[in-house]
Structure 1
Amino acid sequence: MNMPYYKDAKQGTWYVKLSYIDKFGDRQYKTKRGFTLRKDAKRFEDDFFAKLHEGEGTDYLSFTQLSTYYIEWYSDRRKPSSIKTMNNYINNHLNSYFKKMNVYDITTKDILDFHKHMQEKEFRGKKLSKGYIQDIHTALSSILSYGIKFHDLKANVASLAGNIENDEETSWDYWTLAEFERFYAMLDDVFMRAYFRLLFFSGVRHGEQRALTWRDINFEEGYINIDKTNYNGKVHKPKTKTSKRRVYIPGHVLDDLSEYKAWYQENRPYKDDYVVFGSFYQSIGETTIAKKYDKLIEETNLKRIKIHEFRHSHASDCINRLRMDRETLAKRLGHSSSITIEKVYGHLYPSTEKDAISGL
């Protein structure tokens, strides 16, 4: 057996060269010089490996294997959009850090080191926001909780360590009613008028609007019925029960939809279970809408907001112009609680009675 101890002929001392597998599953090498006696080099080796394996149990399950088990379990219980997000957290961030680390040996210090790594990391040329890192930590905690339930993990060290503090303000942009009307005035296409007017004045999620069929529009009662969403070209049930709802819309939006429906019936095959914004059962693609939208924005000096921010624009309009209360807005947007409204839009609500009556 080859011993890792060597005599430095020039210095007259001993040195040791060690090879080992670190907790991430990667091979590492270490050289230590300057030992007077060979037995001192041997003692260093013994102490080094004793500390390296201190506290290690006999069980072994790599983090990557646990995350594989978890995503299989998770995929049977969640919607495709949630599964895609979880896979992103695991494949792009968690597995690349924890790798083959034994989940039974992960400590709270390892979690804190992970937090530091994530705050220093660049992904696709940008630093990760603290809110995004918090989401990744939550995913990690969920994986370890699964490990406790199904793989005899003793503790959730992610939960014990706690999440990072987030002192960043959530930022999103929106249009006022006046800004939207400037945008709307540029639209000379019956499809685009109906599409963007409904998006702004209903506050529905983009996927919910793309999944609408003609039977979902009640022209007599003045509402649209939301009971599905389009994600990646496929129609799915909404994430939550509260996402299923009726959303009442103004008369001028119904007028645009009526005009568009007349055009649709003249130019395309029509059945009441065909999608409103598309052909037959196929919704218009998100990329197609984005290209049309970007082209329009280039023709004006309006600030560009994201398609999703039409929903924020509607919420802002409901709060600032219509003085809609939190509970009503939460129900309209499909949230289960007004707590979400307070978290996302609370800063838009008047903080005093004096502010509240200023619009009267």
Structure 2
Amino acid sequence: TGKTEEEVWAAYKEYIRQKDEVAPIADDTKCVKDGFAHQMGLQTYPHLQDVTFEEHYKEFLRDKESPTQNKTFSNYVQLSQHLIKGLGSLKMYEINQKVLLEFIRNLVNTKYCAGKSTVPNAYYSQSMLSKVYNLLKGFIKACSDPTHRLYLEMPNYMEYIQMPKSKSEPKEEIKEYTEEEMMKIMEALEEDLMIYCWIRILAETGTRPSEPLALQWKDINWEEGSITIDKTLSEVREHDLENWSRSTSVPIIKTLKNDGVKRTHCRKISISAGLMVKLRQWQKFVENDEKMREGRIRNNTTEQVFTGPEGNLWLYRCYNQRYKRALEKCGLYKKGVFLYRFRHTFCTYLVRSKLSMKDIQFLMGDSTLDVILNVYAKVHKEEAFQQGMIASERIQNLIPNCG
């Protein structure tokens, strides 16, 4: 303080002299414009950066919010908790490459409580780390791009920061179900006709688990013995970015994403006569169950093949929990028994049947060949190993027994 501006600057000059480190000054302040900051060798920063990471990052997330990609946005909000916890309170002028590297390093070395454990026992997966890294990279890039509305006149500090590598144990290789395993699972589901039909569709068609749950009766061609996949069960939430909270999920039926003219996600797949019989039985059960029938009318779900017991749309996890309980009841639920394994099994069968890549891609409803190529490589290795054993035995038979 001082009676005049000169006294104030004199006092501040003495204050600076006594300090080892002084906070930088925004470039739109009077002391910078008057040249005092330069004279004293004070560090300055663009005044646009005088905002917290959290405040500015919320604007970045709002740009990503879209009603058509609600589930994806919900994942962004959840993953962003890590960024806010580690960087949220910092001013953007405090962000630099060293700070970002330290944040990523801490995240890689952090453990969380996995399963029913009450103490941290697992490192974050590579998938999770990659998603957080990409969000951070996109945000910092926006802040350094002069054409972006979030531009803060700062360097792209993430440009030379590499994708982190997880310390978590590598996931076990997905194996296809054996015929015996498939038979036991289907036997365990006999008492729950709805779940039986759902799982059998997964086993026979290789669809994604949520796709059959959106089926309508009109999607079943009873004469031809086929189903049309052009919808999926999804969910939506409302998000409050100010408080970093989100509402409970609400189930919805949405069309599959249209990947251009080819529309490989939408497809028609044949089903067995046995599955047709089970679907007919399920249809008759729905028609004869008064509570479910009235509930479907009330909820406007009469055309849906699958609903909850009261005729309401169910969340995917509700079906999954019912599936798990049926397996647990028969002692079949264990590690590695997850729904996407049916899709992997179906793809493996198709590869071993020597179908063309394009035919497999259509039946699987994939936009790219990445997943199919992974299965193909695995099957090819197995076949190569078997052929190697045969060749080894033949050569061994040609070598005289010197023992």
Normalised to the residue count of structure 2, the TM-score between the two structures is: 0.67
How far does residue 118 in structure 1 lie from its aligned partner after superposition? 0.6
Do the aligned partners of residues 119 and 82 (structure 1) sit closer, same or farther apart at CA in structure 2, a change above 3 Å counting? same
Q: Is the 8 A contact 1:275 1:282 kept in 2?
A: no
Match of 1:75 among 65, 75, 78: 65
Match of 1:197 among 197, 200, 204: 200
Measure the CA separation in 2 of the matches of 1:81 and 1:212: 20
Measure the CA separation in 2 of the matches of 1:178 and 1:317: 15
Question: What is the match of residue 99 of structure 2?
Answer: 110
- Farther off after superposition, 306-315 or 280-289: 280-289
Q: Which amino acid aligns with 2:57?
A: S
Measure the CA separation in 1 of the matches of 2:92 and 2:354: 51
Question: What is the match of residue 336 of structure 1?
Answer: 367
Question: What is the match of residue 34 of structure 2?
Answer: none
Q: Is the 8 A contact 1:173 1:312 kept in 2?
A: yes
How far does residue 42 in structure 1 lie from its aligned partner after superposition? 6.5
Q: Does residue 1:274 correspond to 2:303, yes or no?
A: yes
Question: What is the match of residue 52 of structure 2?
Answer: 62
Q: Does residue 1:265 correspond to 2:264, yes or no?
A: no
Do the aligned partners of residues 356 and 318 (structure 1) sit closer, same or farther apart at CA in structure 2, a change above 3 Å counting? farther
How far does residue 151 in structure 1 lie from its aligned partner after superposition? 1.9
Q: Is the 8 A contact 1:119 1:130 kept in 2?
A: no
Q: Does residue 1:127 correspond to 2:149, yes or no?
A: no
CA RMSD, aligned part only?
3.5
Do the aligned partners of residues 54 and 307 (structure 1) sit closer, same or farther apart at CA in structure 2, a change above 3 Å counting? farther
Question: What is the match of residue 295 of structure 1?
Answer: 325
Q: Which amino acid aligns with 1:294?
A: K
Q: Which amino acid aligns with 1:278?
A: T
Deviations for 1:95-133, whole angstroms, at most 9, x for unmatched residues? 111113334553233322122111112334332112310
Match of 2:270 among 224, 234, 248: 248
How far does residue 350 in structure 1 lie from its aligned partner after superposition? 0.7
Measure the CA separation in 2 of the matches of 1:204 and 1:131: 23
Do the aligned partners of residues 142 and 228 (structure 1) sit closer, same or farther apart at CA in structure 2, a change above 3 Å counting? farther
Question: What is the match of residue 180 of structure 1?
Answer: 182
Do the aligned partners of residues 151 and 190 (structure 1) sit closer, same or farther apart at CA in structure 2, a change above 3 Å counting? closer
Q: Is the 8 A contact 1:62 1:101 kept in 2?
A: yes
Deviations for 1:226-276, whole angstroms, at most 9, x for unmatched residues? 222222312223345343333333343333223322333343648996110
How far does residue 333 in structure 1 lie from its aligned partner after superposition? 2.7
Q: Which amino acid aligns with 1:150?
A: R
Q: Does residue 1:164 correspond to 2:164, yes or no?
A: yes
Please give the secondary structure, in 2, of the residue aligned with 1:247.
strand
How far does residue 78 in structure 1 lie from its aligned partner after superposition? 4.8
Measure the CA separation in 2 of the matches of 1:330 and 1:188: 34
Deviations for 1:280-324, whole angstroms, at most 9, x for unmatched residues? 9733443442343223222334353123433333334434x5344
Measure the CA separation in 2 of the matches of 1:336 and 1:309: 19
Please give the secondary structure, in 1, of the residue aligned with 2:107.
helix
Question: What is the match of residue 24 of structure 1?
Answer: none
State the number of aligned residues.
Answer: 317
Question: What is the match of residue 311 of structure 1?
Answer: 343
Q: Which amino acid aligns with 1:312?
A: H
Q: Per residue, is there more strand in 1 or in 2?
A: 1
Question: What is the match of residue 238 of structure 1?
Answer: 256
Q: Is the 8 A contact 1:275 1:281 kept in 2?
A: no
Measure the CA separation in 1 of the matches of 2:140 and 2:132: 13
Question: What is the match of residue 350 of structure 1?
Answer: 380
How far does residue 84 in structure 1 lie from its aligned partner after superposition? 0.8
- Point out where structure 1 has 5 or more consecutive residues left out of the alignment: 2-38
Match of 1:95 among 76, 81, 84: 84
Do the aligned partners of residues 346 and 119 (structure 1) sit closer, same or farther apart at CA in structure 2, a change above 3 Å counting? farther
Normalised to the residue count of structure 1, the TM-score between the two structures is: 0.74
Q: Is the 8 A contact 1:63 1:103 kept in 2?
A: yes
Q: Does residue 1:224 correspond to 2:227, yes or no?
A: yes
Question: What is the match of residue 137 of structure 1?
Answer: 133
Q: Is the 8 A contact 2:226 2:268 kept in 1?
A: yes
